[in-house]
Amino acid sequence: MAVRRIVEQGDEILRKRSFEVTDFGEKTHQLLDDMYDTLVKADGAGLAAVQVGVLRRIFLVINGESVKDGVIEFINPEIISESGSQTGVEGCLSVPGVQGDVTRPYKVTVKYQDRHGDWYKLKAEGFTAKAICHENDHLDGVLYIDKAKNVKASR
Ligand code: CO
């Protein structure tokens, strides 16, 4: 159990491309467990490894309405198809105090590995699809504010 410090906008690491994960052992499991603790503490919808300062292609997304519903761990994810469109408000734990409107696909299919290296394919839509797209962008150094309109202070 360890809550890690969340890196905030202005830190150059958030603009870097994360590296493929090749280690599915204890070190990665510890990182995933710490990311979970960090996400619970922050009560967020998702968290990418780069947000705790680790340049690895890993993110978590909540599997429901809140982090209490559990999370899905995505390792080396790749969005292999997308369709439709949705526009909604987003925020980011690394960009505190603001929110903005972002247009994303309504449905995505994502291929990814779990913490043991096994491959899965998930079809997601609505909020989960939006969260997957937001977190996947982090792996390529992209922040939602790069795409957002009407960025303003959140309450
Ligand atoms: Co974010």
DSSP 114: -
Classify domain 12-153 by CATH number: 3.90.45.10
pLDDT recorded at residue 27: 97
Give residue 143 CA to ligand 1 midpoint distance, Å: 7
Q: Give 28-82 pLDDT, tens digit per residue.
A: 999 999 999 999 999 999 999 999 999 999 999 999 889 989 999 999 999 999 9
Query: Mean pLDDT, to the nearest integer, of 102-118?
Result: 98
Determine the Cα–Cα distance for residues 54 and 60; give it in Å rounded to an integer. Answer: 14
Give residue 132 CA to ligand 1 midpoint distance, Å: 10
Determine the Cα–Cα distance for residues 80 and 49; give it in Å rounded to an integer. Answer: 21
Per-chain mean pLDDT for the chain: 97
The pTM is what? 0.97
Residues annotated as catalytic (active site), given as ranges: 135
pLDDT band at 155 (very low <50, low <70, confident <90, very high): confident
- Residues sharing a CB contact under 8 Å with residue 35, sequence separation 6 or more, in sequence order: 4, 47, 49, 52, 58, 60
Q: Give 46-60 pLDDT, tens digit per residue.
A: 999 999 999 999 999
Give residue 94 CA to ligand 1 midpoint distance, Å: 6
Q: Give 120-130 pLDDT, tens digit per residue.
A: 999 999 999 99
Two tokens, residue 112: 């990814």
Q: Under DSSP, is residue 113 helix (H, G, I), strand (E, B) or coil?
A: strand
